[in-house]
Chains A and B, each alone.
Chain A
Amino acid sequence: MQMPTPDPAILARKDEIVSRLSQVVPKGAVIWDEVQTRAYECDGLSAYRCPPLAVVLPTSTQEVSDVLRLCHQMGVPVVPRGSGTSLAGGALPTGDCVILGVARLNAVLETDYDNRFIRVQSGRTNLSVTGAVEEQGFFYAPDPSSQLACAIAGNIAMNSGGAHCLKYGVTTNNLLGVKMVLMDGTITEIGGAYLDAGGLDLLGLICGSEGQLGVVTEATLRILRKPEDARPVLIGYDSSEVAGACVSDIIKAGVLPVAIEFMDRPCIRATEAFASAGYPDCEALLIVEVEGSPAEIDEQLEIILGIARCHNPVELRESTSPEESARIWLGRKSAFGAMGQMGDYMCLDGTIPVSQLPSVLRRIGELSDEFGLKVGNVFHAGDGNMHPLILYDANKPGDLDLCESLGAEILKLCVEVGGCLTGEHGVGIEKRDLMGHQYAPEDLDIQMAVKDVFDPGWLLNPAKVFPLDYSASRRCAAQ
């Protein structure tokens, strides 16, 4: 993985940069010594590490503005950071950058149940947004697996999804407004406590822009009333083709579950060994969850189970109690941890048309054999968002490279069948060099032209998303 060489002129000015930043934020909000900055050397993609020049942790939008204005004046690159849970390296520093962390901006600013929104500072964690409204029976819908730790700022930067977005959508579908600071320090607001911001859809553009267009400090989010109840069923099949056909039939039948999750045999075995959720040892397992009143749930499940039976399942288990529901979800929710017990792994995030599930799974199995690395599959089947987990040994020379090559082949496969490189994790550095497989040069050029408008100096998170050779002329011209 290549990153731009740190600018020696910036490294040489470290003392001056730290001193000027320290003047605009409270004491203790700038971190520059080599021991402490190490805590910020990587995010969730921990295979790549680089301590930043300095870290700043502002406590207000005005301070974020002051920090950005100073960095803009001094020509110092800025890498915004939420909670650092990115699986794509979105918050990976360079040695000459300032990490701008929003973790201290975590207040709830306004809750309005009549108008169904909450306004929060962007460093607040995803789960604690729901935590702020659940006593009134409301919730914030996007639920990435990292929701206990991940910040709303990062959710907006990556347009995060989650298991339940089949029904409720991803971040961009639940975001009403932002307060954002541009690289030159300008503070701006887009949208608010109403639907569909005016003018061009800049809110839609900001969401998923991976911290390259501005730093979001406040967000207005749509909150929803919690459904009366939810209930999962577990369905096992002896072939992933059949499981894929079952998913397709459920969707066609006009029932819209809130989640359809899929696990394959390697993943089922790993989670059984780890969490003992009582899953059957079969080729493919589906967890389908529906919501509503008990009677509505019964009605939907009757249809779903009818479809499932037509495909001759090896196991069919309907939850009859909250404990049983929790047990059905237990294995799925511990899948990543279980795979982690077996070794180091890399989690991919390609999305494919649902109709391609069986053939893509077969091809992943073949690639896994070719490369000699185990792959487990656990993913959101309803929307085709796959998470192949490639197991490798970080201590074995060459294994990470092999793993990356296999990952690249799988992602190229996703693109070939009409899908995309990343469904909810973002490009970051992880998929950066594969962008040319999905997009032609002119497709990427116009995206980079968008960044030119927001950040003409290419100082905000500059080495991400676009292959370095594509963005080189813009980054150099800006220096």
Chain B
Amino acid sequence: MMRPDTERALAEEIRAADGPLHIVGGGTRGFNVPGVKLFTGGLSGIELYEPGAMTLVVQAGTPLAEVEAVLSAEGQRLAFEPMDHRGMLGTDGAPTIGGVVAANVSGPRRIQVGACRDFLLGIRFVDGQGRVVKNGGRVMKNVTGYDLVKLMAGSFGTLGVMTELSLKVMPQARSMGTLIGEGLGDVRAVQALSAALGAPYDVSGAAHVQGGQTLIRLEGFEASVAYRAKALQALLAPFGVWTLNMEGADLWRDIRDVTALTGPGDIWRVSVKPSDGPGLVAAVPGGRAVYDWGGGLVWLCVPEGSDLRAVLGSLCGHATLIRADAATKARLGVFHPQPEPLARIEAGLRAQFDPRGLFNPGLMAGSRGCGSMEMAG
């Protein structure tokens, strides 16, 4: 195993590496990748924090909890609300900010403020040749050269090992209210969420638990939350009675971490056009669902071994297999396969960033078929 303490040491170790590396932040995703484990935890610490400029520069291996504590002390937060996978996957370890970025993890507030990648301002990483590369910066607007910042976010460590991240942070909301609807079927629930999101009331969360509650979150100054809640209650009256809960933090943590999907089964994460969500769920025998992002993000727990992508078919969107046994993951692939020519482009990019194929080989769909999936068990 490797656990470099500095960017320079990391670069040297990568230059010296002669085989695959499995990059591990907090290890909370439980990925099984061949190769020597490369732990990023030694690259830890806040480099710069300017609350008045809403900017945080942090080393990639810093625990997420540490980042959140530092921000919270100044009344700020990571607005994209990253989920904690430990409950769903039964893993332990402590999530790192680098892991969050590598997987572009975004929670319920994604519909209002954007995804994790939208908050990433700049990045330093070590590529497959051991070169230290920087892209972006620490300012809010930056179009200087290609946006490799976005490319690296969500690349699951397959293009390089991130060492330093610059993030835009946001003020915490002064107050929060949640409108709760009961007894809505999936189709009606998504219609209600669409109506709320299509109204001028700045909804910051829109979720539905199949067979359970439908939730709409409002954040801001107290009077403003009350005003918007009242307006939405009137607007959504055709969908029933909506009660206002002013202490809903737990409700949204549950949505964020998808705690409603307990029990056995494979778990899929599907991004679709919101109005397509309920039809997809209905087409899966034995499936149970949690809808986030106004219906556009569907979490599905299905009988083991089900191929959700076959059901998704021609609907536009993509499905990621989050939880399943090794055999199912090997058979179906964790990530949605890319069509040509995108698969070719992705392979080309990997060849440029990581010419020796060191980083997390076989993890993303682009590098399937290279023999590594057999090793995934």
Contact = CB atoms under 8 A, between A and B. Distances in A.
A386 B222 CA distance: 34
Main secondary structure of the interface of B (DSSP, over half): mixed
B147 A208 contact: yes
A205 B223 contact: no
A444 interface: yes
B143 A195 contact: no
B364 A199 contact: yes
Contacts of B150: 172, 201, 203-205, 207
A299 interface: yes
A385 B140 contact: yes
B199 A225 contact: yes
A358 interface: no
Given A198-B318, A254-B171, A295-B224, A439 B338 contact: no
Interface stretch (A233-241, A317-325, A347-355): A347-355
Contact of B146 (A182, A209, A226): A209
A423 B147 CA distance: 12
Which of B106, B135, B139, B173 counts the most A-chain CB atoms under 10 A from its CB? B139
Nearest to A161: B141
Interface string A318-361: 00000000000000000000000000000000011111000000
B147 A254 contact: no
A111 interface: no
B346 A226 contact: no
A207 B118 CA distance: 13
Contact of A353 (B127, B139, B227, B336): B139
Nearest to A440: B134
Contact of A202 (B227, B293, B345): B345
Contacts of B346: 199-200, 202
Given A199-B338, A199-B365, A422 B143 contact: yes
B143 A425 contact: yes
A351 B139 contact: yes
A252 interface: yes
B11 to A, nearest CB: 11
Contacts of A355: 50, 52-53
B188 interface: no
Contacts of A252: 51-52, 171
B356 interface: no
A446 B153 CA distance: 16
A5 to B, nearest CB: 25
Given A170-B141, A355-B50, A200 B364 contact: yes
B352 A159 contact: no
Contacts of B133: 442-443, 446
Interface stretch (A36-44, A112-120, A145-153): A112-120
Given A207-B147, A442-B133, A418 B141 contact: no
Contact of B296 (A186, A194, A197): A194
A159 B223 contact: no
Contact of A351 (B75, B140, B172, B335): B140
Interface stretch (A18-26, A53-61, A449-457): A449-457
A264 interface: no
Contacts of B171: 251-256
A248 B52 CA distance: 5
Contacts of B202: 227, 292
B318 to A, nearest CB: 3
Interface in B174-202: 174, 191, 194, 197-200, 202
Contacts of A165: 141
Interface of A: 112-116, 137-138, 158-159, 161, 165-166, 169-170, 172-173, 182, 186, 188, 190, 192-205, 207-209, 225-228, 248-249, 251-256, 292-293, 295-296, 299-300, 351-355, 380, 382-385, 418-427, 431, 435, 438-440, 442-444, 446-447, 449-454, 465
